[in-house]
Structure 1
Amino acid sequence: MTTTSVKNISIIGIVSVLPEIELANIDQTCVTDIEKVIASTGIHSRRVVGPQQTALDLGNFACQQLLAELAWDINDVALIVFVTQTPDYPLPGNAVLLQNKLNLPKTTLAFDVNLGCSGFIYGFWLVSQLLNGLKGSKALLVVGDTTSQQYSDSNRSVSSLFGDAVSAIAIEKTPSTDEITFNFGSDGSGAPYLIQPNNGARNPGISPELFMDGTQVFVFTLREIPKSIMQCVEQKGWRLADIDYCIMHQANEMMLKRLAKKLGLNTDQVIISMKNIGNTSSASIPLALCLSLSEQLTTRSCKLILSGFGVGWSWGSAAMTSSPLRVCQLIDLASDNNLYFPFKQLKTL
């Protein structure tokens, strides 16, 4: 595993968007013993997009809200990175399309990163490193997937787990800010255990069908993530007792509780927030921040451990002291659809 750090960088705002459709897991007739699945995963329902709604749609809306809340001058945005495994098109990428939708200047760097549940940590590190090398001071990181479009309703291994969401994160250069420590790892031998093998260059013209071996995912997570978090904490010079909150990828409740027990974290430190949204891939960490910690993050500094892990295998952790955020907002389209997001007015490329 690789440990590194960045200086003079802060997250200053987050807007997360949940789509309006909610599917109750108790109605999943294809899953045997669904009550036991709900009890072990902690996922009672999931939020999914409707027809012709995409991660780019949600990302565009999240960014519009974030830019308005921060009153940023769009000419100051030097970089936009979109981390997603469900882009609108094979090409061009979502980031370039979003740069145009937001009317960002042509000087804005824009590109996609194909990562899943570790994507927020990788994206945060990548944007931080690049921003420190650019003249501009502001960047947008957009993370999230519409994973519900990658499997059929009859897929017993994943249909009760994965939901859709997108988060937009505002990142700025902030001199003299506390150093952020990162730890990363990759192990491609895990690729067969969490894979969407269809409709790419290898198996073209076949409907997407996500496959997951839950046992292998669980074993990988318990083997690698405690080590990654501990290396990150030790490099930071902290003890686990020093941290305010540990926000891990919201895969399932049983997994997070096992990780917390292995690390020796108490229940007040560990955030669990997937009950009514499901596993939302790379959006799950910033979404959990908006769902569970908005008041704390906007009113005071917090010592945070963030850790994402999954498809690849790929994992990353971060230790940081957050300054009070200017915005930490969840927009739930189930209640605010007409006000915020008129889908029928969206235009495709």
Structure 2
Amino acid sequence: MTLYSKIIGTGSYLPEQRVTNQELADQLAAKGIETSDEWITTRSGIAARHFAAPDQKSSDLAVNAATKALEMAGMQPNDIDLIIVASSTPDFFGSFPSTACIVQQKLGITNNGAAVDVQAVCSGFVYALSTADAFIRAGVHKNVLVIGAEVFSRILDFNDRTTCVLFGDGAGAVVLSASQEPGILASALHADGRHSDILCMPNTFAGATAGEAYLYMDGPAVFKMAVSVLEKVANETLEKAGMQQSEIDWLIPHQANLRIMSGTARKLGLPMEKMVVTVDQHGNTSAASIPLALDAAVRDGRIQRGQNVMMEGVGGGFTWGAVLTRF
């Protein structure tokens, strides 16, 4: 009997504080930094984003999203035997204990199942989902909670208008379970460390911290890389699954920049109507962006059972990947 992994529940959470472009522009203007709603929207497609409250951590956002995914899946927390959290903004500096362990504790899971963080920045959810699929197919785990959670507002330089207007906070989650029915059909993951400097947080650790503790991005270089790799990795994943571009029902790219997303859809021969877009309301939420968009499209009825969904991400490292699933 062939064993598959299938998404049986989705969930998401956005912090209460919603900040529009105009509100952010007004806040920056008070500091002498000039920007506008038009400037932000034209370059990114972003109209608003959410920022976490001062006492909210990535694990708090993750738990809210995970609880909704468990409810949809009809599961109790102790049914989960593996938690994988993708995040570039973990609860603890130095990344331990892992945010996944904190999520396990906050969910009240006591079955001693495994918990681990994955760090691939904006590709993190795709990496985590592919990893969970491999564990399930190998028969090692049965029910995996895969979460992308970020509080990027904590690492933004609000004196740099080229980056601070692009990102937001949030979390998305799925329950991935062993199934006799096809679920995840294929995936592909890649990285090229030669480009690690174009999107990074140049704060190093060697006994003590050193460097700038804010996100740095070479926008034009990131744009060029993203456009180059996203079409290729989607086609690679389709080839592994023995499928054609026309068989994609929904495309959910990493929600970073509407121009990158639209360009990828065109290269794959997909109409804009088949692409899920939440970047306009969420901003770039890094590892949380794909599961946030997935949950939005599932809950509003766009994504139906039996449809093929292509999810793909690209992020610092430089990393990229795609997962094709039959929902």
* TM-score, normalization by structure 2: 0.90
Q: Which moved more, 1:148-157 or 1:243-252?
A: 148-157
Q: Which moved more, 1:103-112 or 1:116-125?
A: 103-112
2:264 paired residue among 247, 259, 280: 259
Provide the secondary structure at the position in 2 that maps to 1:64.
helix
Long gaps (5+) in structure 1: 1-5, 323-349
How many correspondences in the alignment? 317
Aligned counterparts of 2:233 and 2:207: Cα–Cα separation in 1: 32
Aligned counterparts of 1:298 and 1:226: Cα–Cα separation in 2: 22
Tell me, yes or no, if the aligned pair for 2:157 and 2:163 is still in contact at 8 Å.
Answer: no
**Residue 230 (structure 2) pairs with residue 225 (structure 1):** yes
Give the 3 Å change call, closer, same or farther, for CA 276–319 of structure 1 in structure 2.
same
Q: Which residue does the alignment assign to 1:315?
A: 320
**Residue 133 (structure 2) pairs with residue 132 (structure 1):** no
Q: Which residue does the alignment assign to 1:196?
A: 201
Letter in 2 for 1:318: V
Tell me, yes or no, if the aligned pair for 1:83 and 1:115 is still in contact at 8 Å.
Answer: yes
Tell me, yes or no, if the aligned pair for 1:157 and 1:211 is still in contact at 8 Å.
Answer: no
Aligned counterparts of 2:264 and 2:161: Cα–Cα separation in 1: 25
Give the 3 Å change call, closer, same or farther, for CA 270–203 of structure 1 in structure 2.
farther
Q: Which residue does the alignment assign to 1:186?
A: 191
Tell me, yes or no, if the aligned pair for 1:78 and 1:131 is still in contact at 8 Å.
Answer: no
**Residue 59 (structure 2) pairs with residue 56 (structure 1):** yes
**Residue 290 (structure 2) pairs with residue 285 (structure 1):** yes
Q: Which residue does the alignment assign to 1:153?
A: 158
Tell me, yes or no, if the aligned pair for 2:10 and 2:175 is still in contact at 8 Å.
Answer: yes
Residue-by-residue CA offset, 1:8-27 (whole Å, 9 max, x unaligned): 10011111000011122234
Aligned counterparts of 1:198 and 1:178: Cα–Cα separation in 2: 39
Aligned counterparts of 2:199 and 2:43: Cα–Cα separation in 1: 19
Give the 3 Å change call, closer, same or farther, for CA 75–33 of structure 1 in structure 2.
closer
Letter in 2 for 1:21: Q
Q: Which residue does the alignment assign to 1:99?
A: 104
Aligned counterparts of 1:244 and 1:68: Cα–Cα separation in 2: 25
**Residue 89 (structure 2) pairs with residue 86 (structure 1):** yes
Q: Which moved more, 1:7-16 or 1:133-142?
A: 133-142
Aligned counterparts of 2:280 and 2:55: Cα–Cα separation in 1: 26
**Residue 118 (structure 2) pairs with residue 113 (structure 1):** yes
Percent identical residues: 29
Q: Which residue does the alignment assign to 1:43?
A: 46
Q: Which residue does the alignment assign to 1:344?
A: none
**Residue 78 (structure 2) pairs with residue 75 (structure 1):** yes
Residue 199 of structure 1 and its aligned partner are, at CA, apart by 6.2
Aligned counterparts of 2:162 and 2:287: Cα–Cα separation in 1: 19
Q: Which residue does the alignment assign to 1:16?
A: 12
Aligned counterparts of 1:310 and 1:171: Cα–Cα separation in 2: 23
Residue 269 of structure 1 and its aligned partner are, at CA, apart by 1.5
Residue-by-residue CA offset, 1:316-343 (whole Å, 9 max, x unaligned): 1122211xxxxxxxxxxxxxxxxxxxxx
Tell me, yes or no, if the aligned pair for 2:100 and 2:116 is still in contact at 8 Å.
Answer: yes
Letter in 1 for 2:257: N
2:249 paired residue among 225, 228, 244: 244
Q: Which residue does the alignment assign to 1:339?
A: none
* TM-score, normalization by structure 1: 0.84
Residue-by-residue CA offset, 1:116-172 (whole Å, 9 max, x unaligned): 111111100111212334555211111121111001221222111000011121110
